[in-house]
Every structure is written in structure tokens, then in C-alpha cells.
């Protein structure tokens, strides 16, 4: 009997040793920083632009602090006056540890040369910071080295950050299928406008609602880009690499673009698109969709989040693929290779190593789950791979469709970039991880982006980093805005008659010089 007890004792002891070793090592995964035994909490001040404030006892920030021993304190600047604020912050040495900023609008190269921002590579190691190490040593990361120093971390973005939304309950009430071809789309828009889809016996519904206004005189057609693409057009300049030899910058001047403008004008004049589109911003158009009187729009978030904000709580919204055109073409707007946001560490940072560590944690799988999904058991529950959100808790804390932490930190639109499994950054970026809800009406943002990226053309290079090019692209955008308004609003204009004038005007605005700078900077 003693031998049996001894054997049982040895087995239990062995199990306890294994368990202790497991618990001791599982919290030392690459990219995860841990609370020190002394429990000391370090505060990292993180500057962001145009984002909401956190509540003091925010559960996500509390979870991050518990896990890392780092307390995040966010300093948020409004879009109005942000540039002056950042310039003062960097040049005067105001105490801040991380700064997220639109890098194409600031002289970060000059800041680096003057020693005003810190070299990330000095504090990044391959074993402890797999995401940052992979990124800064990748081709795109090298674009932001100055004088042999990695001075800026670009925020990588998903391509499919805009999608086409439709009222599925309206389709069901009118006994209409989900439209697929451009002809079916136009028929659906007419039905939404004319057949009382909300059943209130009033003539108060619209088909497609879009906002074209973009600042003084600006005209942005992103919200009708699926219809332009169906007819062979594009919205916004696209970059192409021809025969692997030369970059070509094509700003809406192809022959098929002419037909796309003809068809879009026809849709606009028929009333399938709201007639006040030129006086409506993108945000106002999205708000109109939320009001419940619009059947279709472009939106930059998933149906789950949209339905939480709809005035009509019985509304059912789904995302759909863009229409297939007569020639089989379809798509959304083109997307840049990288985001326009980046992170720098100013010389005023009190603890650069901890700033790097918390950035790495936010890019890790655990950190991304926190900023994308929230706290498990609080914001969502999970069974297998299926995620079920808790909208009541979600809106109690944030009152919005998106966690304040999920935008403007590390990377955007992608749930997780696994640089541990795929150390080559470009390889990892081709294999993004998205967490699924298992319900097409309750998509996570990652599912939404994943669905849309199939229909997006991604530019082969980021051009905003090239000196002198941003002012030229602004000139092209201004010229395009002027002509877009003429094509859609001027009833007397003959698109065919003025097309050559249009193409020449766009080319004169800086297209040739953009291509020269682009190809020279890339060695082509």
C-alpha cells in the first residue's frame, strides 16, 4: 500500500512541477511585456489626433495595465490645429512618450536630422519585439529610415476599409434578391425610391445616398466608386507597375473613364443618387443611412456596428459585393500601400524602452484582441472560433461603433499580423488573421475588411513619402474635383466634346512630374 501512495505522490508532484513550469513560461511569449514583481506601474503618454477621450476606468486600458504594468495616458488633439500642436510638442520638448501623426504632413525627416525624434531600432530586439523588428527591417519599414536610423513606424492599414451596405429587410419586404449586376443594382435603387420599402405609406425613402463634399471646393466620389468601377472607371489616381519596369500614374483619364462618367451622370440625373450629394459630406451621408430612410450607401464599418446605431432597431443591414458591370468589371476605390499615419518617439520620452515595449504589445495577438474586440467576458464571449459581441456593454463604455483604442494604434483594419509565425513582414502581411463571428450580420471589423479587400486595387508603392510629390498630387486632386462637378452638375456640358480638354487639363496639373519623381525615387 505504501508503494501505491508513494507512486501517487510522485505522479502528483511531477504534474505540479509541469504545471508550474508551464505557468512560468506561458507569460514570456515574444512581443508580450509583463508586470514586474514589485508591481511598479509606468505611465506612457501617447499623443493621437482626432480621437475620442477614454474614461478613467476604461476596462481595456485597465486590462492592458494589469498585463504589462504600463498605464496608457492618451493626449488627444482635434483635427483643427493638430499640426501646430505637434510641431510645438516635438520642437519644444514637451513631455510625451509616443506620438501618432499623419506622417505625410510633418517634416519628420528634418526632426530626425535635428535629433528631435529617437531611433526605434536602438530599443528593438528580434526576440522581444517580433512585430517591430520584422517591420523596421522590411522594405516598407526601410522607407522610413533617416541617416541610418528607424525614426518612424508606419501604421499598416487594411485595403478594404470601405464597403457597400444595403437594407436587407427592405429587399425582403419588396421581395427583391440581393443585386449582383449593375442593371440589378439600378433596378433595386429605383424600387427603394419608389415602392415604399419602409411601409409607412410616405414618399420619403431614397436609393443610394452619398456625400461628395470634401472641404471647400473638393469633390470626392468614393461613395459611388463601385458604380464607377462597374463601367470601367476608377475613383482617385491609381498606380500601376507596367511590365515590372515603370510606374504609371493614372488619374481618371482612360477611355473607359469617359463611359463611367456618362453612366454616373445618368444615375445622378435620374435621381438614383441623392441630388444634394455635392452639399453633403461622407459623415452626413452615413448619418442619413442611420436615420432609416436610405436603402444603400458606402460605409467604413461593419454591419454589426452600423445596426447598433440605426434609428430603426429592427433594421437589418448586410454588406454586399460591388456591382458587376457590362464587361464583367467590379471593384471599390484603390487603396494606398501604407497608411498615412505613423508613430515617432520624441526625444522628451522618459522611457523609450517601455514605449517600444507597449507598442509591441499592442501589435501582439493578445494586444490586438484587446484593442479590436475588447475584454473577453465583458465586451464579447467566445465559443470555439465564434465571437459574440455584447452591444449593451460595448455602448455603455464607448457610445460609438468602435473602441477608441482600435484606431490610431500600431496598425488598422487588420485584426492580427502574425510576424512570429511569418518573420518576413511582407509574407505576414499577405496572411492576415481575422477573428470571425460566424454570423454575416455581426461581422467583426476584420471580417468586414477581409470581405472588401477582394475588390480593392492596392497601389504597388507609397508615394507620399517621396519629397515634393504631395503638393503635385494635391494639384491633380484639385483639377479632378473641378471636372467632376462639371460632368455631373452642368446640364449643358457634352462629355465627349470636352473630354480631350479634360485629359489635357489633368495631365498639365502635374501627372508627368509625379511619374518622373516616382520612377526616379524607386530606381526605375
C-alpha span between 469 and 461 (Å, rounded)? 13
SS3 content of the chain, % helix, strand, coil (to 5): 45, 15, 40
Give me the pLDDT at residue 34, please: 42
Cell of 227: 458604380
What predicted TM-score, i.e. pTM, was given to this entire model? 0.77
- For 463-519, write each residue's pLDDT tens digit: 766 777 878 888 998 999 999 999 999 988 999 999 999 999 999 998 888 888 888
Helix (H) or strand (E) holding 154: strand 153-154
Mean pLDDT taken over the chain: 84
CA-wise closest residue to 522 among 141, 143, 237, 113: 143
Give me the pLDDT at residue 133, please: 98
Cell of 352: 523609450
* Residue 417 or residue 241, greater confidence: 417
Mean pLDDT, rounded, for 73-92? 86
Cell of 103: 506622417
Helices (runs of H) and strands (runs of E) counted in the chain: 20, 15
- For 100-150, write each residue's pLDDT tens digit: 888 877 889 999 999 999 999 999 999 999 999 999 999 889 989 999 999
Q: Which residue has the cell 509565425?
A: 421
* Residue 276 or residue 465, greater confidence: 276
Give me the pLDDT at residue 3, please: 52
Give me the pLDDT at residue 174, please: 97
Give me the pLDDT at residue 370, please: 86
Give me the pLDDT at residue 287, please: 94
- For 1-20, write each residue's pLDDT tens digit: 555 555 544 544 555 444 44
pLDDT at 30 over 50: no
pLDDT band, very low/low/confident/very high, at 37 (cuts 50, 70, 90):
very low
Cell of 133: 523588428
What does the buried/exposed string (b/e) look like for 91-127 if buried means 16 or more CB atoms within 10 Å of the residue's CB? Answer: eeeeebbbbbbbbbebebbebbeeebbbbbbebbeee
Least confident of 179-188, 241-250, 345-354: 241-250
pLDDT band, very low/low/confident/very high, at 48 (cuts 50, 70, 90):
confident
- For 300-348, write each residue's pLDDT tens digit: 877 877 887 888 888 999 999 999 999 899 988 766 555 678 999 999 9
Least confident of 226-240, 283-297, 384-398: 384-398
Residues whose CB falls within 8 Å of the CB of residue 200, separated by 6 or more in sequence, listed in order: none
C-alpha span between 464 and 470 (Å, rounded)? 6
Amino acid at each position: 500500500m505504501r508503494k501505491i501512495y508513494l507512486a501517487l505522490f510522485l505522479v502528483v508532484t511531477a504534474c505540479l512541477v509541469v504545471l508550474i513550469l508551464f505557468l512560468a513560461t506561458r507569460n514570456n511569449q515574444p512581443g508580450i511585456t509583463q508586470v514586474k514583481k514589485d508591481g511598479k506601474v509606468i505611465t506612457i503618454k501617447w499623443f493621437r489626433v482626432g480621437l475620442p477621450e477614454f474614461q478613467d476606468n476604461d476596462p481595456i486600458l485597465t486590462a492592458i495595465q494589469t498585463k504589462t504594468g504600463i498605464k496608457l495616458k492618451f493626449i488627444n488633439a482635434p483635427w483643427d490645429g493638430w499640426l501646430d500642436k505637434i510641431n510645438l510638442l516635438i520642437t519644444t520638448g514637451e513631455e510625451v512618450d509616443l506620438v501618432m501623426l499623419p506622417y505625410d504632413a510633418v517634416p519628420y525627416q528634418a526632426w530626425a536630422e535635428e535629433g528631435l525624434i529617437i531611433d526605434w531600432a536602438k530599443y528593438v530586439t528580434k526576440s522581444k519585439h517580433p512585430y517591430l523588428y520584422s517591420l523596421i527591417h522590411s522594405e516598407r519599414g526601410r522607407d522610413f529610415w533617416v541617416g541610418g536610423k528607424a525614426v518612424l513606424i508606419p501604421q499598416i492599414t487594411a485595403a478594404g476599409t470601405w464597403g457597400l451596405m444595403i437594407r436587407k429587410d427592405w429587399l425582403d419586404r419588396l421581395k427583391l434578391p440581393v443585386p449582383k449586376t449593375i442593371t440589378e443594382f439600378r433596378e433595386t435603387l429605383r424600387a427603394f425610391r419608389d415602392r415604399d420599402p419602409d411601409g409607412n405609406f410616405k414618399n420619403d425613402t431614397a436609393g443610394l445616398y452619398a456625400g461628395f463634399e470634401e472641404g471647400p471646393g473638393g469633390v470626392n466620389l468614393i461613395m459611388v466608386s463601385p458604380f464607377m468601377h462597374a463601367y470601367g472607371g476608377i475613383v482617385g489616381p491609381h498606380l500601376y507597375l507596367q511590365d515590372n519596369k515603370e510606374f504609371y500614374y493614372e488619374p481618371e483619364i482612360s477611355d473607359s473613364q469617359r463611359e463611367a462618367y456618362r453612366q454616373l451622370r445618368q444615375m445622378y440625373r435620374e435621381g438614383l443618387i441623392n441630388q444634394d450629394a455635392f452639399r453633403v459630406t461622407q459623415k452626413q451621408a452615413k448619418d442619413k443611412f442611420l436615420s432609416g430612410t436610405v436603402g444603400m450607401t458606402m460605409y467604413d464599418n461593419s454591419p454589426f456596428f452600423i445596426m447598433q446605431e440605426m434609428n430603426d432597431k429592427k433594421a437589418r443591414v448586410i454588406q454586399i459585393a460591388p456591382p458587376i458591370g457590362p464587361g464583367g468589371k467590379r471593384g471599390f476605390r484603390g487603396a494606398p500601400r501604407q497608411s498615412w499615419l505613423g508613430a515617432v518617439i520624441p526625444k522628451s520620452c522618459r522611457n523609450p524602452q517601455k514605449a517600444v515595449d507597449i507598442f509591441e504589445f499592442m501589435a501582439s495577438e493578445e494586444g490586438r484582441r484587446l484593442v479590436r474586440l475588447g475584454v473577453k467576458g465583458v465586451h464579447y464571449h467566445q465559443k470555439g472560433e465564434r465571437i459574440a459581441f455584447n452591444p449593451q456593454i460595448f455602448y455603455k463604455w464607448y457610445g460609438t461603433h468602435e473602441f477608441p483604442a482600435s484606431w490610431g494604434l500600431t496598425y488598422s483594419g487588420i485584426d492580427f499580423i502574425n510576424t512570429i509565425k511569418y518573420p518576413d513582414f511582407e509574407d505576414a502581411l499577405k496572411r492576415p488573421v481575422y477573428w470571425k463571428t460566424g454570423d454575416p450580420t455581426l461581422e467583426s471589423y476584420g471580417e468586414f475588411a477581409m470581405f472588401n479587400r477582394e475588390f480593392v486595387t492596392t497601389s504597388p508603392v507609397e508615394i507620399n513619402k517621396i519629397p515634393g510629390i504631395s503638393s503635385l498630387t494635391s494639384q491633380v486632386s484639385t483639377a479632378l474635383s473641378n471636372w467632376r462637378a462639371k460632368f455631373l452638375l452642368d446640364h449643358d456640358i457634352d462629355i465627349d466634346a470636352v473630354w480631350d480638354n479634360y485629359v489635357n487639363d489633368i495631365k498639365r496639373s502635374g501627372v508627368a512630374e509625379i511619374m518622373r519623381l516616382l520612377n526616379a525615387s524607386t530606381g526605375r
